[in-house]
Homo-oligomer: A and B are copies of this chain.
Amino acid sequence: MTATAPRTEDPTAADAVLYRFTGYAMKRAYMRVQDAVSARLSEMGLRIGTFSALGVVATNPGISQSRLSEILQIKRSGIVVVVDELERVGVLERSAVPGDRRMYALSVTPGGHRLWRKAEAAVRVTEAELFATLDAGETEILRHLLAKAARGATADGGGDPE
């Protein structure tokens, strides 16, 4: 029974102490994803940050930069750079909002939607390659548990329907 260890939980690895922490495993796993996804996205002129923003705006047309910054958990000043970059390549637009001259309504251009669909598919493929050692069910469980862990105890029991 001591014969073939699952290799996934190698106690002889020099960083075995750290892998006992979920956070370390998260970091290590994310680093791997980040490298592969960044490389893939850079081929189409995107970074992880701009990819994420593009996706959020694509599915939330008319959103403001402030709101986008909340969603992506990046400060407003950081969003400017991201939006600038996406606007410069013509995939995203800042249009005036009728009622309020302080903010812009963000929207994705037709070309932007095309790029988004392409990038989305590419990242999906990249992730599939990365997680080839997991079967479909495991990947789904992983994603689900991560989402749960990411949201945490969302404190607000749900009594704030805006």
- The answer to whether A17 touches B59, judged by C-beta atoms less than 8 angstroms apart, is yes
Q: Which residues of B contact A15 (CB under 8 A)?
A: 52, 55-56, 71-72
Most buried by B among A22, A24, A56, A63: A22
Q: Which of B7, B8, B30 is in CB contact (< 8 Å) with A30?
A: B30
Assess whether A154 is interfacial by the CB under 8 Å rule.
yes
Chain A interface, DSSP helix/strand/loop, else mixed: helix
For chain A, the count of residues having a C-beta within 8 Å of the partner chain is 63
- The answer to whether B32 touches A149, judged by C-beta atoms less than 8 angstroms apart, is yes
Known contacts A14-B56, A144-B9, A22 near B139 by CB under 8 Å: yes
- The answer to whether A14 touches B60, judged by C-beta atoms less than 8 angstroms apart, is yes
- The answer to whether B150 touches A21, judged by C-beta atoms less than 8 angstroms apart, is no
Assess whether A42 is interfacial by the CB under 8 Å rule.
no
A52 to B148, CA, bound (A): 25
Pick 25 A–B contacts, CB within 8 A, sort by A: A4-B158, A7-B154, A8-B147, A9-B144, A15-B56, A17-B55, A18-B55, A18-B56, A21-B127, A22-B33, A23-B34, A23-B123, A26-B30, A27-B30, A29-B149, A29-B150, A32-B150, A32-B152, A130-B152, A133-B148, A134-B145, A141-B141, A142-B146, A142-B149, A145-B145
A contact set with B: CB distance below 8 Å: 4, 7-10, 14-34, 37, 52, 55-56, 58-60, 63, 67, 71-73, 123-124, 127, 130-134, 138-139, 141-154, 158
